[in-house]
Amino acid sequence: MPSSRDVVFVDGVRTPFGRSGPKGLYAETRADDMVVRVIRELIRRNPNLPPERVDEVAIAATTQIGDQGLTIGRSAAVLAGLPKSVPGYAIDRMCAGAMTAVTSVAGGIAFGAYDVAIAGGVEHMGRHPMGEGVDPNPRFLSEKLVDGSALVMGMTAENLHDRYPEISKERADAYAALSQEKAAKAYADGKIQPDLVPTAIRTAEKGWGLAVQDEAPRPGTTVEALAALKTPFRSHGRVTAGNSSGINDGATGCVVAAADVAEELGLDAKMRLVSYAFAGVDPEVMGVGPIPSTERALRLAGLNISDIGLFEINEAFAVQVLAFLDHFGIDEDKVNPYGGAIAFGHPLASSGVRLMTQLARQFAERPDVRYGITTMCVGMGMGGTVIWENLA
């Protein structure tokens, strides 16, 4: 068995992201069917990959009950028509679920346990709101292990504004408006559509339909409109629905493989995994998580932040992105060129692979950029970062 092999990202796709709720795109669509659609599309788009060569299917969900339960990696693999010989499992690291699915199978590939794997995530927040069915241990609060605000993500973002007073509501709103503008331009330029899987949807009222684009973006959003929004987490606060990601439904998936196996099968590898890291922070300021995880990933890779030419950072909240950019002194034009979760939405466990898919597209356009980062903050006080090398 080889001591360690290079791991490459071959291809990534996702369903269009819907708004959660009774009128959202996927209100009457099952979460596992969304994953099935993604797996089938990955196999269809990569005809050189024999389905029996898939060694593992790792699918993340934050709320692992109902149609997101039953070891969703395995159940979706069977439903998607992969050979019964292909195993699968479920993962939970809240927002970084799909990212952890990728790093977990990548570790197995590097070690030699797998050659090819499918990794991704799904979240149907309309059916399964964040925290549904959980029973937090009372010791968290009674023994003051975490601040009471730690379990409400919007309150953790307000706490982050307290920690970084120079990040004003005006700055957060300006960042949010820019994200919407970038997403609208990326759509107009046809950058997003190639990796969207048209997904069958159905409602009792309208019958069958097809989801072909994200439902959440609000093109034309202005800073003035954002300034007028309520601050639900704190009176006279700074966090609004406009400078945060929405509550969304969606699924993502990707093919990762050993570099030599990708070459053997004739698969088009787009980027190489250089290093990854996860880190813990105080849960009440979970938005700072990407800072220590990125520092650790850079250290493991032997790189500096100046070596990184593109960043895909999950926009759970504008303040969290701005804290990251300020800490590292990053030029905003290197960050989320196609827009981010404030526009597209953030179906928790699925978002990590959306970041990777968008980075792979940008790498193809930018052969002058050698390294890129995908990073995100994670509920309960964590951050996750993956460093990629451009194979274009």
State the catalytic residues: 95, 346, 377
The pair of structure tokens assigned to 379 is: 């509920």
Coil vs helix vs strand at 281: coil
Bridge pairing between strands 271-280 and 382-390 = antiparallel
C-alpha–C-alpha distance, residues 210 and 25, integer Å: 9
Check: CB of residue 267 under 8 Å from CB of residue 20: no
Separation between Cα atoms, residue 159 and residue 362, nearest integer Å? 33
- 157 to 134, 269, 294: CA distances (angstroms): 22, 37, 19
SS3 of the chain: helix, strand, coil, percent, to 5: 40, 20, 40
From the list 277, 222, 237, the residue with the least C-alpha distance to 149 is 237
Q: What is the secondary structure of 37-51 as a DSSP string?
A: HHHHHHHHH-TTS-G
Measured CA to CA, the distance from residue 220 to residue 239 in angstroms comes to 20
